[in-house]
Structure 1
Amino acid sequence: MSLEQKRILATSIPGPISVQMQERRKQVVSAGVGTTLPVFIDRAHGAILKDVDGNQFIDMGSGIGVVTIGHTNEKVVAAVQEQVAKLTHTLFTVAPYEPYVRVAELITKHAPGNFAKKAAFFNSGAEAVENAVKIARKATGRTEIAVFDHAYHGRTNLTMSMNFKAHPYGTGFGPLAGSVHHTPMSYPFRDSEGLTGEEAATRAITYLEKRVGAGQLAAVFIEPIQGEGGFIVPAPGFLRTLSAWCRANGIVMVADEVQSGIARTGKWFASEWEEGFEPDLITVAKGIAGGMPLSGVVGRAEIMDAAHAGGLGGTFGGSPTAVAAGVAVLEQIEEGGWLERALEIGELLTSKLTALQAQYPIIGDVRGKGAMIAIEFVEAGTKTPNSKAVEELVKHCHSNGVLILNAGTYNNVIRFLPPLAITNELLEDALEVLAAGLAKL
């Protein structure tokens, strides 16, 4: 599993073998399955991706936040190897197995909230969100769902309706699901100057009360730090005020932590950054199982138990191999060191990126928590989104051995989601490549 933790450019990007493989891909893979970095990865370990041509890339995206504790983490690999040799499938709702229970014990133990909790497991983040909708509707007897501007929740029919940005996720795929209502988000960089979190929450609440009616809402879904929207961190007080309103009106408060949870921000869950915010349900996926397909819903026991037997599940949901990987990930985080490392990464990234912001006025905002940091690009001296700069920087970084990801409603954000196993040397190398790209613009 070892791989030198070093950026290496052995060929041009993409290399000749990757080019050949792309031609094979075009013949048999749907054009709807796009590619960000046009190389084929052969191996990975820690924070390094090695392609079929021998190039090594610094991974600043972690598979969009999936391999949080690093590629091919030794304990995750060992857990998967052991489990796959023992049992690969029964379906937990037919004949259960212990690792499913163990991962539920771990996730309920560390989810925020001073109340009894239960969990259920599925395959993808979108599937977790859909099941949270089902649970909330069954628990409340209501139908309507509220979501926020700039949100992203998935690519299924229902979750496409919950997304803010239509393209590319929903273009041409309608009609989409109904009973979903969008309300204004707290976006400190773009909100009116001086708008507090409480004021932004009041704006959202007023809209929902007038447009939908509190008594009609089953749940309010929010990402404590928005992912695809550009790592938007709401102003302090926003989440707490929303939560209090939901509690007063019998509405289930759901935190979508598919991207922000599982040690990514320096806490088990990003929800913990807002004092007094205790969501009723939390959706998880991505970083929970080190690259294996596992997602879940965790929350108040009485709400989770509202669903009737057989109402939750799915053929591969919480598969033996995936939950074994989940146990290996969560037990390592529990052992310590990972939350602290996320905070260290955040400090290093924020310091370096803030220095670049002072040098380059096209960087309008640096934001995020822990190892979930983003920079928003604007036309210099304005807040006009600058997507062209992001496009050029992404190309520059990719051609120089650094995998970075764009984001944002206006496609003008670069997000950093490095594995927590990354070294400071690799982080600084990646940022030097970014700085060189900025100098070229």
Structure 2
Amino acid sequence: AFEQQQWKSSVSTQAKMPPCDFVPEKYESYPYERMGKIREQNVSPSLRMYYKKPLLLHQGHMQWLFDYDGRRYLDLFAGIATVNVGHCHPKVTMAAQKQLARLWHTTNVYMHPSIQEYAEKLTSLLPDPLKVIYLTNSGSEANDLAMLMARLYTRNFDIISLRGSYHGGSAYTLGLTAVGLYKHGVANGLGCSTTMLPDVFRGPWGGSHCRDSPVQTVRKCSCSEGVCHANNQYIEQLKDTLNTTVPKTIAGFIAEPIQGVNGAVQYPRNFLKEAYQLVRERGGICIADEVQTGFGRTGRYLWGFQTHDVVPDIVTFAKGIGNGFPMAAVVTSKEIASPLAQNLHFNTFGGSPLACVIGAAVLDAIEEDGLLKNCEDVGTYMLLELAKLRDKFEIVGDVRGRGLMIGVEMVTDKYSCHPLPAEEMAQIWEDCKDMGVLIGKGGLYGQTFRIKPPLCITKKDVDFAVEVFHTALQRHVERATKK
């Protein structure tokens, strides 16, 4: 009780948490210490936990999470960019409960109403010719299947991804994933090559006019009006990869509209459009990995690829598609889907009645709650508020993103842009958690805070979160001064 009072006191003296009229149920499971012992003894050590004292969460309501002791947290990570419409959204919860009482599972070898209804509903929101859907259970599985489809359709083998990308942890997709922390030193994903990431903050080219974001990097830009010289340089790197690393014909190219695990890295305007053209000239197809950017997270549009003025040949979805329910999808054209039907390819749980009903309820909630507009408005507001902290603190190197897919890259100083050391990142992170705000981390060096909240957050929530982050940064400065 004393610890709880101390925590509340700390929050109230630093930043006032917005009110919430939801009252969580009383926690009645095992004590915290026993939960920790079970985790240590019976859960794989590869499933790492956040924070020095890991959180034991008990209940969620929209943008809020509650721990076993009743403490409330503003969730700015949303289960890793997954809970788009809010924790336990009443419409989605009601739809799930109703379907649970009717039919859980039949496998997709039978027709049931929800799979056809959902297929029609989802594909109606995508441009032609993206009208054929294959339902799976996870983003890794969806990208795995997209790779297979690309190879079957083109009869080519090689697939290119961007460095810094994350496309899954399966043995197949690890070849596309280009973040060293996920590499295990065993054979994986043969026929996969990477090309230079067009990062206008940390890469060799780019600056203050290059990306499609309310906030630009502070690095000076060599671009002239109407011409992005940085984009031209990165496209030349892709051409070099095509000319040296892969055969004359390829199976495809995969990219996230905004990189997720790597810390909301954005490309120069027109990069994806020009990259798609080059890939198609080599016989390849273009895959948009919308696992993190999909279902409204980038604001204004449902899909991240729309911000690049492109239409992919295959789109993969997961995370926000089911608001946390294990569900994913591959959407493509009938032409590209057809070769897969020449032999059997089966998924037992993909497209279950329960998953499809939940997916449909998520789409309804996005529309009925006006989440695209809220994401655009609140996300822009948050980006601009965070940019003020970038201008105030030397260690905040870059603020970037669209909608509510935001990255804050931390550096030792803006001149060198060396990543902020891990122990300093961790302390800022811990301070934010102790004051009631949960954020993620990412980047090749773990140097970027990842902010991807439920799309229902408000500007008052943003004010609270920015004030907490400001306090954590100020504490860091004070600690550094005392050394």
**In which range does the TM-score fall when normalised by the shorter chain?**
over 0.9
CA shift, 1:52, in A, is 0.9
Distance 2:353 2:343 in 1: 19
Any stretches of 5+ residues in structure 2 without a counterpart?
1-17, 24-29, 206-221, 223-228, 477-483
1:437: which partner in 2?
A: 472
CA shift, 1:127, in A, is 0.2
1:152: which partner in 2?
A: 166
CA shift, 1:323, in A, is 1.3
* Residue pairs, 1:105-120, within 5 angstroms: 105-111=120-126, 113-115=127-129, 117-120=131-134
What is the root-mean-square deviation in Å for CA atoms of aligned residues?
2.0
The answer as to whether partners of 1:7 and 1:401 remain within 8 angstroms in 2 is: no
Distance 1:132 1:235 in 2: 25
1:273 aligns with 2:307: yes
1:43: which partner in 2?
A: 59
2:480: which partner in 1?
A: none
CA shift, 1:338, in A, is 1.1
Which one of the candidate residues 68, 80, 90 is aligned to 1:52? 68
The share of aligned pairs that are identical, in percent, is 31
Any stretches of 5+ residues in structure 1 without a counterpart?
9-15
2:433: which partner in 1?
A: 398
The answer as to whether partners of 1:7 and 1:57 remain within 8 angstroms in 2 is: no
Partner SS state of residue 392, structure 1: helix
Which one of the candidate residues 318, 333, 345 is aligned to 2:366? 333
CA shift, 1:187, in A, is 0.5
Alpha carbons of 1:423 and 1:7: their partners in 2 closer, same or farther (altered >3 Å)? farther
Partner SS state of residue 308, structure 1: helix
Partner SS state of residue 305, structure 1: helix
2:212: which partner in 1?
A: none
CA shift, 1:76, in A, is 0.6
1:357: which partner in 2?
A: 390
* Residue pairs, 1:54-73, within 5 angstroms: 54-73=70-89
CA shift, 1:394, in A, is 1.1
2:452: which partner in 1?
A: 417
CA shift, 1:7, in A, is 11
Distance 2:130 2:45 in 1: 46
Which one of the candidate residues 105, 119, 126 is aligned to 1:104? 119
Distance 2:468 2:31 in 1: 24
CA shift, 1:105, in A, is 1.6
Distance 1:29 1:305 in 2: 41
CA shift, 1:287, in A, is 0.3
1:177: which partner in 2?
A: 189
The answer as to whether partners of 2:230 and 2:268 remain within 8 angstroms in 1 is: yes
1:250 aligns with 2:265: no
Distance 2:334 2:19 in 1: 46
Alpha carbons of 1:99 and 1:202: their partners in 2 closer, same or farther (altered >3 Å)? farther
Distance 1:336 1:40 in 2: 30
Partner SS state of residue 221, structure 1: strand
The answer as to whether partners of 1:6 and 1:48 remain within 8 angstroms in 2 is: no
1:85 aligns with 2:101: yes
The answer as to whether partners of 1:122 and 1:318 remain within 8 angstroms in 2 is: yes
1:238: which partner in 2?
A: 271
Which string of whole-angstrom CA distances, capped at 9 and with x for unpartnered residues, describes residues 337-359 of structure 1?
A: 11101111211211110000111
Distance 1:228 1:135 in 2: 25
Opposite residue 179 of structure 2, the aligned amino acid is K
Which one of the candidate residues 195, 202, 211 is aligned to 2:245? 211
Opposite residue 132 of structure 2, the aligned amino acid is K
Partner SS state of residue 104, structure 2: coil
Alpha carbons of 1:171 and 1:6: their partners in 2 closer, same or farther (altered >3 Å)? farther
Distance 2:346 2:257 in 1: 26
Distance 1:372 1:5 in 2: 24
Distance 1:79 1:7 in 2: 21
CA shift, 1:322, in A, is 1.3
CA shift, 1:116, in A, is 5.1
Alpha carbons of 1:214 and 1:110: their partners in 2 closer, same or farther (altered >3 Å)? farther
Opposite residue 183 of structure 2, the aligned amino acid is G
Opposite residue 56 of structure 1, the aligned amino acid is R
